[in-house]
Amino acid sequence: MSTNVLGIPTDEGMDISGVLYNYNVVKNVEDDFVVTVQNKDKEDGYIFQDTEDWSGKHGMRIQKVIPLPYTPIENIGEGSIKTTGTGTVEDATILYMYRWDECRNPQNNENCPGYVPIIPEIPNIDVYDALEDDAVDDATEETDKELYEKEKEEDTENRDKEEEDEDRLELAMAASENALTIANTATQASVLQTMNNATNVNSYYVAQVPGGVYRESISLQGGEVVDNKKAFKSLSQDKLHNTMIREQYQ
């Protein structure tokens, strides 16, 4: 008996108090037909068995209520309708009557007497103890101070020497790099010169202007260009001048 079958939660605390069933029997009067509605006990045998012998009777619809002593739902096993003889059972419905004792298991509701608040399980975490780590012991082991100082001085000397070597090497590399740069520049200039020499500019020298002379064809009417005094006056004001200057940058 599960939640899917009953349509209600089947937690501890539910008792079945009865079964109501109905079904329709289709048969001929003269035929033997026996119908048993039953529910197995999970432990052994049956919780109930209700048998109707329809032998020699008219088939029709039957509805019965089977009262049961309060039976914990955990004990109720598979239910079935068993038939023997000639006939059929149609439109069968089986309803279980129940009561719900929520506090039978106090853990069902925190308001039930005896409810024990659930304490979450705390996972066991291994705490790293650096004091028990051999590597840490080795690293923190006490050392000979003089030996340490001597090693330190040697290290310093070695480091200075290495730095000095590096500087020298850098200088040497810089000198060779400069030489290469100069050489490259000279080479490029030489290449450009060669390219220019190869360019044929003779066609420009041999071109001839028709007529040989370009004469002035524009004549100035009146023969004199007079300054625009209005404009001059206007431009002489700082404000307009400044505005024009600013407009160049907008």
CB of 66 to other proteins, least distance (A): 11
CB of 12 to other proteins, least distance (A): 33
Given a contact cutoff of 8 angstroms between Cβ atoms, the answer to whether 99 and 13 are in contact is no
Q: Decide whether 66 or 112 has the Cβ nearer to other proteins.
A: 66
Quick note: the x/- pattern for other proteins over 15-44, rule CB under 8 A, is -------x--x-------------------
Given a contact cutoff of 8 angstroms between Cβ atoms, the answer to whether 33 and 100 are in contact is no
Report d(CA 94, CA 37) in Å as an integer: 9
Q: Decide whether 65 or 179 has the Cβ nearer to other proteins.
A: 65
CB of 43 to other proteins, least distance (A): 30
CB of 120 to other proteins, least distance (A): 54
Given a contact cutoff of 8 angstroms between Cβ atoms, the answer to whether 26 and 59 are in contact is yes
Report d(CA 61, CA 83) in Å as an integer: 15
Q: Decide whether 93 or 197 has the Cβ nearer to other proteins.
A: 93
Given a contact cutoff of 8 angstroms between Cβ atoms, the answer to whether 101 and 11 are in contact is no
The amino acid present at 203, given as its one-letter code, is S
Q: Decide whether 54 or 96 has the Cβ nearer to other proteins.
A: 54
Among 2, 43, 45, 58, binds other proteins (CB under 8 A): 58
Q: Decide whether 11 or 52 has the Cβ nearer to other proteins.
A: 52
Residue 11 burial (CB < 10 Å; 0-12/13-18/19+)? middle
Place of tokens 């100035």: 220
CB of 105 to other proteins, least distance (A): 36
Give residues in contact with other proteins (CB under 8 A): 22, 25, 52-54, 57-65
